[in-house]
Amino acid sequence: MAETQLLDGKTILVTGGTGSFGHQFIRYVLEHYQPKKIIVYSRDEYKQFVMSNESPYREYSKVMRFFIGDVRDKERLERAMEGVDYVVHAAALKQVPACEYNPAEAIKTNVHGAMNVIDASLDQNVKKVVALSTDKAVNPVNLYGGTKLVSDKLFIAANAYAGDKDISFSIVRYGNVAGSRGSVIPFFRNLLAKGETELPITDYRMTRFWISLEEGVKLVIKALEESAGGETFISRIPSFYVKDLAEALQPGIATKETGIRPGEKLHEVMVTAEDAPNTLEFEKNYIVYPQMIFHERQQAAFEAAKKIGRPVEDGFVYSSGTNSQWLSVDEIRTLLATVEEH
Ligand SMILES: NC(=O)c1ccc[n+]([C@@H]2O[C@H](COP(=O)([O-])OP(=O)(O)OC[C@H]3O[C@@H](n4cnc5c(N)ncnc54)[C@H](OP(=O)(O)O)[C@@H]3O)[C@@H](O)[C@H]2O)c1
């Protein structure tokens, strides 16, 4: 049964719809709503071919559309967005080393791509646009984070160009998804599968947030439902020590400290002290409201939210290192049993 009617009868375009997030989001929408059309927008025909033949997409072939296109190509985006109600922008280059080594490519996809998604959404009268961000966009120390910071700023400022149009742009920010490609869980699991007897840990003090892909999807749905424009939606999720993850994967496993890598942080941050004056805390999430307000509806949304949410303390920082919720080794082990690798 549908939770609300939000996406029923609507056309939704997902840039990067063949990626990990895209799969989980589209499956969720097909299970909970009756959309008119879901458009997957990405470059690789093979990934689209495989997806179109998989369940549940195969059974929903009347709803699913597969568009080959690059977010760098504005004309193609304009065509793909004709008649689209909602856009979820998930396409990105997101591997830190690849972005460091190919900086211009990261800028073309993550920054120029974001500008094209904004322009095409404005021109085609899309109603809501939600762009995915990452903790790496906060106080960035690598180019991936830098490009996503610029992308976030572009989406927040895009609300200024809406004029009288009924369109809003907002952001969902989350940290490393448990089990996502290239992340620490599959990395450790592969080493253990190969028979390694010692796991490398860059720094024993290192912490991360733990979020499942499903929690990320639900936050995007919430942003589609509630955003008035310019908000950054952030899940309240637990932290864990990377060394505890090793212990949870294999009790008693030996570990070796290998030193922090270039572009790596000891702790990830999702809300900075500078954001704190505009941040409200809710039961399951934080919302950072925009510092520059372009429409009355944005101010009205902030005022209405203040009646439900609690302002965070002055100087508050939402960091994986100072989080109030922590996972024990046993809790990590329980969660690991539910982690699918994507
Ligand atoms: N995974 C995480 O842990 C994590 C954490 C925080 C935030 N995020 C953010 O969440 C979003 C989705 O991540 P994900 O894990 O789903 O990534 P993913 O699995 O790597 O998927 C990326 C998707 O983007 C498409 N894509 C890449 N370049 C494109 C381009 N130039 N034009 C059109 N499509 C393009 C890819 O398909 P083609 O290659 O076929 O084009 C693929 O469908 C990203 O914005 C990422 O920054 C991810």
Phi, psi (deg, nearest 5) at residue 13: -110, 130
Q: Token pair 């505009």 is at which residue?
A: 278
Catalytic, 136? Answer yes
Q: What is the rounded CA–CA span in Å between residue 22 and residue 39?
A: 11
3-state secondary structure of 42: strand
Does pLDDT of 342 surpass 70? no
| pLDDT tens for each residue of 103-129 | 999 999 999 999 999 999 999 999 999
The active-site residue, picked from 94, 136, 148, 222, is: 136
Task: Give the position, in ligand 1's atom list, of the atom nearest the Cα of 73.
Answer: 32
| pLDDT tens for each residue of 71-87 | 999 999 999 999 999 99
Cis peptide before 56 (omega within 30 of 0): yes
Residue type, 145: G
Structural domains of the chain sorted by starting position, each given as residue range(s) with its CATH number in brackets: 11-175+212-236+270-318 (3.40.50.720)
Joined tokens for residue 58: 């195969």
Q: Which of 96, 134, 94, 131 is CA-nearest to residue 115?
A: 131
Q: pTM for the complete prediction?
A: 0.95
Average pLDDT over residues 150-175: 94
Q: Is the CB of 145 under 6 A from ligand 1?
A: no
Q: In this structure, which residue's CA is closest to atom 21 in ligand 1? A: 19
Residues 86, 41: contact at Cβ < 8 Å?
no
Joined tokens for residue 186: 């599959």
Distance 302 CA to ligand 1 centre (A): 30
Q: What is the 8-class DSSP label of residue 209? A: E
Q: Is the CB of 271 under 6 A from ligand 1?
A: no
Q: Is the CB of 151 under 6 A from ligand 1?
A: no
Q: Is the CB of 71 under 6 A from ligand 1?
A: yes
pLDDT at 338: 86
Q: Is the CB of 113 under 6 A from ligand 1?
A: yes
Joined tokens for residue 296: 């009355």
